[in-house]
Amino acid sequence: MTRWQPALRTMGIAATTAATLATLTACSTDGQPATDDAAASSSAAAASVDVAALDTGPYPTDPRPEFGRATDDQIVQVEGQRMAQFIVVPFEVDRDITDMKNPTSAIASRNNLTMILGEGTPEVPANDDLLYGFSTTASTPAANIRQGTSRGLNTVVLRYMTPEAATAAAQQLAEQVATNGDNTVTTLPGLPGTHVIHDTGTDDTHQLMTFTPHNSYVIYEWYETTTKQQDKLEPTVRKAISLQTALIDQFPATPTKDEAAARGITGPTRPIVDQDHVLIYTLPYTDEEMDNGKTGLTPQSMRAVYGPRGMAHFSGDPVGTFNDLNAAGSTANAVERSVVYRAASDEQATTLMDSYRRTDSADIGAPPGLSDAKCSTTNDSNNTTYTCHVKLGRYVGEIHSDNKQDAYQQAAAQYVLFTKAEQNES
C-alpha cells in the first residue's frame, strides 16, 4: 500500500518572528550505516538500464547541492520537522486511531494555534516565548462511525524558551480554551500540573482536553469519544500524556542562545538542513509551488527529512509506515515533490519497495526503459492519481501525479538521480 499521503491539506503556516529566530542555535539526528556491498549492487542494477534513453521530461537529474546549516528563514521549520520523530503517533495511544486528519503539521508561529486550539489562543501572553511545535491528528476509520465507536485524538507539543514560559502557557491556553467553550478548568488526580477541560460536543460526543507543562514544553491532548465510550477518556489521555512526556525527553532540541551559553557550547550550532544527505536526491518543488500550496502539505512540512515516526504522522497507513521503515532501517526519509526512502541495505530496500505495492489500485505498467519500476493508478472522489515506485541500491523513490506521462517522467528522473546517489552514505 502507498504509505505517503500526498493530498493532505493542513492549516496555513505563517512565518515566525525574528525574535524567536534569534534565540535558536542547533542540534542534529543520527543516520544509519550502509552495507559495503550496496554500491556494487547499485552499479549492477544501473547497468541494465539505458539511462540516456529515459524520458525524464522537465525534471532535474542531478542531485542538488548540500543545503548546509539552517538560515533564519529555515530554522523553525527544520526544528518542527525534527520534532516530528518525537511526537507520539495516534495509533500508539489508541491502536484503532489510524485515519490521519487535520491539523497534522509542524507549527512555525503562534498564529497557527487558532486552527488547533481556537480563537484567542495565539494572543495569550506566554506565547511571546513560543518557539515552534508539532501537531498530529487522527481518527478511527469511517466504519467506526457506523458502528457508533468513533474516536479521535490530537496531540500537540509546543516548545517555549524556558520552563517558566511553558508553565505559564499551559495555564493561559487552558483558560482561553475553557472560556471559548464556556467550560471550567479542572485537574486530574495524580497530575496536579495538568490543566483539564471536559466538554460535551455535538452528536452525542464527549471530549477531554489537557494542557501539561513539561520542562520547556506544553503537551496538549484532545481526545473525543461517543457517549457509550466515555469511560475511555481519562485512561486514554493519561496514557497519551505519559507516552508523549517520555518521548519528548529524547528530542535533541536545538538549544536557545541562553541554553548554549549555559552549557558552554561555542562555534556554529545551527541545525544542518539535510544532515543525512537524502533530501538532495528528491525531485524538487519550486519555491512558488511551495508557497502556493501546490504540494499537498503545508510549506514547512515539505522539503523535509523524517524518521519512521515522522513519516507515519502523514501516512495513509501509519502502522505500516512505522513498522516497514523501522524494519528497513530507514532512519532518514526525504519529502518534496518525490519521496525518497533510504534503507540500511539493498535487500531491505527491496523488501520496502515490495511493501508499497497497492492491493486496491490498478497496475499501469512500468515507464519505458524501467521495467523494474512499479506504477499504479487510483481513483478517489473523481480524481485519478498515478503513483510510481523506483529502486536502486538502498534507495526507493515514490512519486505521485495526476497525469500518467508526468508520473513516468518523474519516475525516470528519480531513477537517474539514484544512479548518482552515494550508496555508502551513513
Domain definitions of the chain by residue range:
18-71+273-419, 76-248
Q: Read off the C-alpha cell for 165.
A: 514560559
Question: Going by C-beta distance under 8 Å and a sequence separation of 6 or more, which residues neighbour residue 79?
Answer: 24, 131, 132, 159, 253, 254, 271
| 141/389 Cα distance (integer angstroms) | 26
Task: Give kind and range of the element (H or E) at residue 205.
Answer: strand 205-214
In this predicted structure, what is the pLDDT of residue 3? 57
Query: How buried is residue 169: exposed, middle or buried, by Cβ count under 10 Å (0-12/13-18/19+)?
Result: buried
Catalogue the E-assigned strands of 108-146: 130-139
Which DSSP state fits 191?
Answer: E
Q: What is the phi-psi region of residue 26: left when phi exceeds 0, alpha when psi lies from -120 to 50, beta otherwise?
A: beta
Q: What is the DSSP string of 347-362?
A: HHHHHHHHHT--SSSE
Pair 218, 173: CB distance under 8 Å? yes
Q: Are 396 and 390 in contact (CB under 8 A)?
A: yes
d(CA 266, CA 269): 8
The DSSP bridge partners found for residue 205 are 226
> What is the rounded distance in angstroms from the CA atom of residue 51 to the CA atom of residue 44?
13
76-248: CATH, from 3.40.50.300, 3.40.190.10, 3.40.1000.70, 3.40.50.920: 3.40.1000.70
DSSP state of 421: S
Alpha-carbon gap, residue 156 to 88, rounded angstroms: 10
Helix (H, G, I), strand (E, B) or coil at 95: coil
Report how far apart, in Å, the C-alpha atoms of 254 and of each of 72, 118, 259, 271, 280 are.
14, 28, 9, 7, 22
Question: Are the C-beta atoms of residues 340 and 396 closer than 8 Å to each other?
Answer: yes
Report the candidate in 124, 103, 99, 101 with the shortest Cα–Cα distance to residue 112: 103
- pLDDT of the chain along its 426 residues, tens only? 445 554 343 333 333 333 444 445 433 333 333 344 444 445 555 558 999 999 999 999 999 999 999 998 889 999 999 999 999 999 999 999 999 999 999 999 999 999 999 999 999 999 999 999 999 999 999 888 788 899 999 999 999 999 999 999 999 999 999 999 999 999 999 999 999 999 987 778 999 999 999 999 999 999 999 999 999 999 999 999 999 999 999 999 999 889 989 999 887 778 999 999 999 999 999 988 888 777 777 777 899 999 999 999 999 999 999 999 999 999 999 999 999 999 999 999 999 998 876 555 789 999 999 999 999 998 877 789 999 999 999 999 999 999 999 999 999 999 999 999 999 887
DSSP 142: H
- 279 burial type by CB count under 10 A (0-12 exposed, 13-18 middle, 19+ buried): buried
pLDDT score of 45: 57
